[in-house]
Structure 1
Amino acid sequence: MADQFLFADEAADAEPKESCPPFHILVVDDDEEIHVITKMALSDFNLDKRPLEFHSAYSAKEAKEILATRDDFALMLLDVVMESDHAGLEVARWTREELKNKLIRIVLRTGQPGQAPEEEVIAKFDIDDYKEKTELTYRKLMTLMYSSLRAFRDLQAIEHYKSGLERIIKASAEIFSAQSLNQLSQGILEQLVALLTRTQTAAYCKLNPEGYTASADTDQPLQIIAATGEYKQRVGELLKNNDAQRIVNELRERKETVSYEIHNDTYYGLYKTSQSQYYLLYIRGIGELSDTDKHLLTLFMNNTAIGFEHALLLNQSR
């Protein structure tokens, strides 16, 4: 009895723990029992000291309405068969393609094995896992939560890094100097490549070095001024790439200040300055680019080119 009172006193005197924001979980199923069982089984679950907060939808229509109101769901446990045999698949497709939510982890659950081939569903609908309800024991459900939420956490962190990088790039035009220009552009290029590509191969080049004309119908030397991967030791040399020369010539005929082309998983981005100088951003193994990725690359080209032009004017005035 004394031990029990001692334990109660210590708990009462303890300082309240600082609460961490929860992971938001959306359970989509037309069976009320599934909602109850899922919440009971995961009531004490937490990751990184973050608990779970559950939201319920009982139809595909209701799920879409909830998903459209907020974009911070970490995981959706999604029943396949609801209003129709493939209602859940439609929600998954809509979430990825129309809502363009790439962060939320989507786990399909079905009570009717064989309703849709697992391999085909995972490949076609960009989901993260496919489970039969009968195989989701408590232990497997816990494992699923850890793997899914860790993936969400890491993807969310990358998105935050991109936002921070955007601030760095925006500020770079103001802090560039002749002394720090190459080092800063090199550092930013390395971060861009690490965040946006599957490889580390990139080069930032200036067209039309001194002694060459700016005619659009001739190949202009591409001088490397910042690089990563295999080009890192070749700063100051020329980028020798037939595709690059051909694509640059095509891009130079466009009217836009910034234009780009993706060819064979290689990104060619061309920036034209107010002084009719050209800068090329060459990244190999770029993969698929989101609108945010394209925006970051454009910012890099814009502000880095401004910095180099300012450095050139500074050197000429001395």
Structure 2
Amino acid sequence: MAEQDDVLHLIDDAGAVPEASSARKWKVAVIDDDPAVHEGTRFALSDYSLRGQSLEILSAYSAAEGRSLMRAHPDIAAVLLDVIMETDAAGLDLVEYIRNEIHNETIRIILRTGQPGQAPERRVIVQYDINDYKAKTELTADKLFTSLTAALRSYQQLERMVQTRRGLEIIIEAASTLYDFRSMQRLAEGVLTQLASLINVDCAGILVLRDEGGSSGVDFSVLAGSGCYSRFIGTNGSKSLDPEVRQMVEAAFQRRKNEFLDQRSVLYLRTGSGREVVVLLQAERQLSETDRALVEIFGSRLSIAFDNVILYQQLQQANSQLEDRVAQRTRAL
């Protein structure tokens, strides 16, 4: 037991500080009143990487600090939590706070205790919404690696489910909103707004429409733009766009399918009336598989919205022509 305990505690954490990186990291919280546990955990996980992402380890030395940490970082993926700190049940009380007060259901909680007798494993695992229970004396570097990896994978799966549910709710709500638009430009602006909300990231976008899809020599018009593309709003013709943007839009019309690149995504759709729409999005990050699936679902519903606007405009035009004819006939009589 002593040798296993040494894996976490006989550590000098005075090594080189890892270089700062802009890559996304897994946030892991260590909440324990023993500084040696923090040092040991950082050393044991110093070279940790999962799916190309390293760790950002956040420390709290009491349950009170842990509460502040949880509020400040709602995107923490996993927490290594001590049971006995200010009180014999401080860690368990923090579990209740996380689950029932701030309602964080996705974070994975690994309970660690140096005194298993104070909080029997069977009772704790049943009564409290935790995901793992370990005695500090048995939590070697390898076991810590295994427990944390299982926790992070579980967190990632839950995050995907949450994002999917949120995205589907946005799509359902957006459908009724988009179908109410009577102006093509307003509809296009609404599409860009809803897409930004759907992928939950600041992004620039442009939406172009080609009235007679597939006909050679037919040019397109820019119906909406946001961010760096807003300057193109209302322009007609491919020559009004920057060469790179024009090339991507024209390629989408030829390819007739969606394309997802590192920081740019191109959405293509063809309406029932034969019009073609291309949406170009530029985001700060590459879209995840969940984001891509939601964008494609959203795009599949847009053709009806565009056809609705076109039909409405045709009806308005027909009605206006009918009124003119009635007025002319009335004057003739």
TM-score, structure 2 normalization: 0.47
Structure (1 or 2) with the larger CA radius of gyration: 2
